[in-house]
A and B are shown apart, each in its own frame.
Chain A
Amino acid sequence: MMKQWTHIPEPEEQLPDAATERGLLMWLSSVDHKQLGIMYLLASLLFFLLGGLLVLFMRTQLAIAENDFLSPEVYNQFFTMHGTTMIFFVLTPAFLGMGVYLVPLMIGANEMAFPRLNAFSFWMALFGGLLLYFSFLTEGAPDAGWFNYAPLNESNYSTEGIHYYCMGLLLGGIGTVGTAINLIVTILHMRVPGMGYRQMPLFVWMMLVTAFLILAAFPSLNAALAMLLLDRLLHAHFFVTANGGSALLWQHLFWLFGHPEVYILILPAFGIFSEVFQVFSRKPIFGYGFVVASGIAIALLAFGVWVHHMFTTGLGNTVNAFFAASSLLIGVPTGVKIFNWLGTMYKGSIRLSVSMLFAVAFLIEFTIGGLSGISFAIVPIDWQLTDSYYVVAHLHFVFVGGSLFGVFSGLFYWFPKMSGRMLSERLGRWFFWLFVIGFNLTFLIQHVLGMMGMPRRVYTYPQLPYFTLFNFLSTAGAFIMALAVLTLLYNIWRSLRKGEPAGADPWDAYTLEWHAAAPPLLKNFERLPPVRSARPLFDLKHPEQADWKKQEG
Chain B
Amino acid sequence: MKSRLMMKLFIGSEAFFFLSLIVAYLYFWRSAHFTQEALHYLNVKLSGVYTALLLLSSGSLVLAENRQRKRAWRSAHFWLAITIVLGCIFIAGQAHEYLTLISEDLTLGSSEFGSGFFTLTGFHGLHVVAGLVLLAILLGLLLKGHLKKEDALRTAGMYWHFVDAVWLCVFTLIYVLPHYLSL
Contacts and interface: CB of A to CB of B under 8 A. Distances in A.
Given A113-B2, A230-B108, A244-B31, A220 B16 contact: yes
A236 B108 contact: yes
A188 B17 CA distance: 24
Interface in B27-76: 27-28, 31-32
Nearest to A238: B115
| Number of chain B interface residues as a range | 20 to 34
A236 B115 contact: yes
B31 A236 contact: no
Given A234-B109, A235-B109, A238-B24, A189 B2 contact: yes
B1 interface: yes
A56 interface: no
Nearest to A113: B2
Given A234-B108, A235-B109, A184 B9 contact: yes
A181 B115 contact: no
A15 interface: no
A231 to B, nearest CB: 8
Query: Do most interface residues of chain B lie in helix, strand or loop, or is the interface mixed?
Result: helix
Contacts of A216: 12-13, 16
A218 B109 CA distance: 26
Given A113-B6, A234-B108, A219 B14 contact: yes
Contact of B109 (A114, A117, A189, A237): A237
Nearest to B115: A236
A253 interface: yes
Contacts of B114: 236-237
A234 B119 CA distance: 11
A244 B9 contact: no
Contact of A215 (B12, B24, B32, B123): B12
Contacts of A243: 112
B112 A245 contact: yes
B134 interface: no
Given A113-B2, A235-B109, A238-B115, A249 B16 contact: no
Interface in A216-256: 216, 218-220, 222-224, 226-227, 230, 234-238, 243-246, 249, 253, 256
A267 interface: no
B141 to A, nearest CB: 15
Interface in A170-185: 177, 180-182, 184-185
A244 B19 CA distance: 22
Contacts of B166: none
A414 to B, nearest CB: 26
A504 B29 CA distance: 62
Interface in B62-120: 107-109, 111-112, 114-115, 118-119
A180 to B, nearest CB: 8
B119 A189 contact: no
B32 to A, nearest CB: 7
Nearest to B10: A181
Given A227-B24, A237-B109, A181 B17 contact: no
Contacts of B20: 219-220, 223-224, 253, 256
11 contacts: A113-B2, A180-B9, A181-B13, A216-B13, A216-B16, A223-B20, A227-B119, A230-B108, A234-B109, A236-B118, A238-B119
Interface of B: 1-2, 5-6, 9-10, 12-14, 16-17, 19-21, 24, 27-28, 31-32, 107-109, 111-112, 114-115, 118-119, 123
Given A220-B19, A227-B119, 13 more contacts: A181-B10, A182-B6, A184-B9, A185-B6, A216-B12, A216-B16, A222-B17, A223-B20, A234-B109, A237-B109, A246-B28, A253-B20, A253-B24
